[in-house]
Amino acid sequence: MADNADHIDGDDNEDVRAQQNLIKIKLKSSEGGIYECGLTAAKMSDLVKNMVESLGTDAVVTTEPIILGNEAVTDAALKKIIEWVEFHWDDPPVDHDFEDEKDRRNEELSHWDKQFIDVDDQALLFDVIAAANYMDIKGLVEVGAKHICSKIRGKSCQEVREMLKITNDFTAEEEDAIHKENAWIYAKD
């Protein structure tokens, strides 16, 4: 494990990653749009990474584009996703030897990410998140999740429903009962 980690963040490997990102592969959205993306960047998606590994890099580069069939992978969402991975492909890997997971969860987004994810079109935002989840790009799902949570932090249930267009499927009685169970949280200073 340790040997492996050391190998991954070694200088040589960084050069290889940079070299590989010069290789362009094609990704096809569910709407049919075809977009180019650097290989290293594209492999931030575990879905793409697995496909590339099973098909072989040469095949992926020379043949048909990789088809991303999920409905959420629209042209617009795929363009956003490629923009994100092209910016983040050279991020340092997470060092699992340190217990930073908790800190990382609480970390704010970088201003680039904040600006990237702050899209006015909520349909596009949700497509990007769902598509990133489908493509298994954990870092981007996290960016989307943090963005949504920062928007609903401290809001009332009704405000959250309106903001995220969520249907309230509780009856008034059910809602009252939950309020009673959680009464202590509202009694806060």
Partner 1 sequence: MAKQMKHLKTSLETTDDGNEDIKQQPQIYAKDSFDGFGDDLCGLIVSYLSFEDRFRLECVSKQFQRTVFGSVVNLTIDHLFFSHYKAVNSAKSQMLATIAIKCSNIESIDCYAMQDKHIPEVLAVFRDKCLQICGTLWREFGLEFVQQFAPLMTRINSMDKQQIPSLIHCHRLSELSVDSLSDIFDTTSGQLLAKNLKTFSFHCYKTSDEGLMSAFVDQNQSLECLHVYMYSGSHETRQQLCQQLSQLPHLRDLLLYLRVGNGDNSLAESLRTIGENCKQLKQLSLMLSSVNKKLDSKTLDALPSYPRLRRLTLSHHFGHKFMKPLKRCKGLTHLTLYSMKLSDTLLANCDKQWPRLQYLRINCMAGNGFTFSSKSLGHISRLSALQTLLLGYGVGIDLNDNALKDLLTGMSKLKRIEVNGVKVSIGLPSK
**Whole-number Å distance between alpha carbons of 75 and 134:** 15
Which stretch, 16-24, 31-39, 60-68, 168-176, contacts partner 1 (CB under 8 A)? 168-176
To partner 1, the closest distance from the beta carbon of 107 in angstroms equals 6
Single residue of 32, 54, 62, 97 touching partner 1 by CB under 8 A? 97
Total residues interacting with partner 1, rule: CB under 8 A? 66
Binding mask 120-159 for partner 1 (x = CB under 8 A): xxxx--xx-xx--xx------xx-xxx-xx--xxxx-x--
Which stretch, 38-46, 49-57, 58-66, 104-112, contacts partner 1 (CB under 8 A)? 104-112
**Whole-number Å distance between alpha carbons of 156 and 162:** 10
**CA-based diameter of the chain, in Å?**
63
3-class DSSP string for 65-111: CEECCCCCCCHHHHHHHHHHHHHHCCCCCCCCCCCCHHHHHHCCCCH
To partner 1, the closest distance from the beta carbon of 188 in angstroms equals 5
